[in-house]
């Protein structure tokens, strides 16, 4: 799924410019790091892609669809094709690991047998099968992050959005999470990930989009964290 930002600005009330005149084009199957200091607009950019927020100016188009003009009824169907991993995991505290992943498919009325099979597959993929009956509060930060990744994978999305997925993780756990993200990308899924982690960006040399005070200051293929 390709992503196109054309002259996109986002201004929050009263007058805070989170993004200013951003134009980027991300092709299907790319792996893109979005970097920048805290408050530079990374999360805003990702939230525009998931249509949690709408641009004040410009057009955000994903898979050829202008998200600003998307019908309300179509939003859930669009989001089923977008895997989202948030920095705060966004897991449902009252549900177990298994239920947190299964409900994404249940919401699509997938038959129970298929839900069971797919949930088992994605939990195994992130190596948490033995933790399937636990609730998020009983898991470590890294494990919760892996549950969020498994949930995002459940619907086999074409686009994977990860907002600082390694932000709260130690080096080894972060490396495990990155291994999963690279595997997802290798299967042809577009991955857009925001991060502060220099080591990760510098070791994998993917496309880097750098933001500063809401402005695009660098868009470099095979880039490092700093120029």
Partner 1 sequence: MTALRYVLRDTWRLIVHHWVLGLLTLITAGVMLWVLGVTTLLSLNMENLLSRLESELAVQAYMVRDNTINAEEVARKIQALDGVHSIKTYSPSESLSKLQQKMGSQSRALEMLGDNPIPWNFEIHVNSASDVEPLVEALKSMPEIDDVVYAGLVVKRISALSRISSRIALVMFVLAVIITALVVYNTIHISLYSRREEIGIMYLVGATKAYIATPFVLEGTLLAFLGALIAGGGIIGAYFPGIELIRENLPLLTNIIITDRAVIWRFCGLLAGFGATLGWVCSYLVVTRFINSITRPE
Q: How far is the CB of 106 from partner 1 (least distance, A)?
A: 5
Alpha-carbon gap, residue 5 to 154, rounded angstroms: 27
Q: Does position 132 bind partner 1 by CB under 8 A?
A: no
| Closest CB to partner 1 among residues 44, 185 | 44
Per-residue x/- mask for partner 1, residues 25 to 54, rule CB under 8 A? Answer: -------------------------xxxxx
Cα–Cα distance list, 15 to 7, 8, 56, 87 (Å) = 18, 16, 11, 26
Q: Where are the beta strands (DSSP E) in the chain?
A: 3-12, 16-26, 31-35, 57-62, 65-66, 82-85, 159-163, 190-194, 207-212, 215-220
Q: Does position 119 bind partner 1 by CB under 8 A?
A: no
Site for partner 1 in 63-82 (CB under 8 A): 73, 76-77, 79-80
Stretch in the footprint of partner 1 (CB under 8 A) among 29-37, 91-99, 183-191, 219-227: 91-99
Asked if residue 32 lies in contact with residue 207, where contact means CB atoms within 8 angstroms, the answer is yes
Residues whose CB falls within 8 Å of the CB of residue 7, separated by 6 or more in sequence, listed in order: 21, 22, 23, 57, 58, 59
| Closest CB to partner 1 among residues 51, 132 | 51
The DSSP letter of residue 199 is H
**Exactly one of 16, 92, 183, 217 binds partner 1 (CB under 8 A); which one?**
92
**Exactly one of 23, 27, 28, 94 binds partner 1 (CB under 8 A); which one?**
94
Per-residue x/- mask for partner 1, residues 97 to 116, rule CB under 8 A? Answer: ------xx-xxxxxxx----
Q: Does position 141 bind partner 1 by CB under 8 A?
A: no
Asked if residue 190 lies in contact with residue 29, where contact means CB atoms within 8 angstroms, the answer is yes
Backbone angles phi, psi at 207, to 5 degrees: -65, 135
Q: Where are the beta strands (DSSP E) in 28-122?
A: 31-35, 57-62, 65-66, 82-85
Per-residue x/- mask for partner 1, residues 145 to 184, rule CB under 8 A? Answer: ------xx--x-----------------------------
Asked if residue 113 lies in contact with residue 189, where contact means CB atoms within 8 angstroms, the answer is no
Q: Residues in the site for partner 1, rule: CB under 8 A?
A: 12, 50-54, 73, 76-77, 79-80, 84, 90-92, 94, 103-104, 106-112, 151-152, 155
């Amino acid at each position: 799924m390709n992503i196109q930002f054309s002259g996109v600005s986002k201004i929050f009330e009263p007058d805070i410019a989170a993004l200013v005149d951003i134009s980027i084009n991300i092709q299907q199957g790319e792996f893109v790091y979005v970097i920048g200091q805290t408050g530079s607009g990374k999360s805003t950019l990702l939230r525009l892609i998931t249509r949690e927020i709408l641009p004040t100016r410009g057009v955000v188009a994903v898979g050829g669809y202008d998200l600003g003009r998307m019908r309300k009824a179509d939003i859930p169907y669009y989001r089923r094709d977008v895997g989202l991993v948030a920095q705060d995991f966004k897991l449902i505290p009252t549900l177990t690991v298994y239920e947190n992943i299964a409900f994404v498919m249940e919401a699509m009325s997938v038959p129970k047998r298929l839900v069971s099979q797919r949930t088992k597959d994605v939990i195994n993929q992130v190596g948490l099968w033995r933790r399937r009956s636990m609730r998020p509060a009983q898991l470590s930060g890294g494990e919760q992050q892996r549950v969020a990744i498994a949930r995002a994978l459940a619907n086999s999305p074409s686009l994977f959005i990860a907002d600082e997925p390694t932000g709260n993780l130690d080096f080894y756990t972060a490396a495990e999470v990155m291994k999963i993200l690279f595997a997802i990308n290798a299967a042809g899924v577009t991955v857009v990930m925001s991060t502060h982690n220099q080591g990760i960006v510098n070791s994998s040399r993917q496309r880097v989009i750098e933001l500063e005070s809401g402005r695009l200051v660098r868009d470099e293929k095979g880039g490092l964290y700093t120029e």
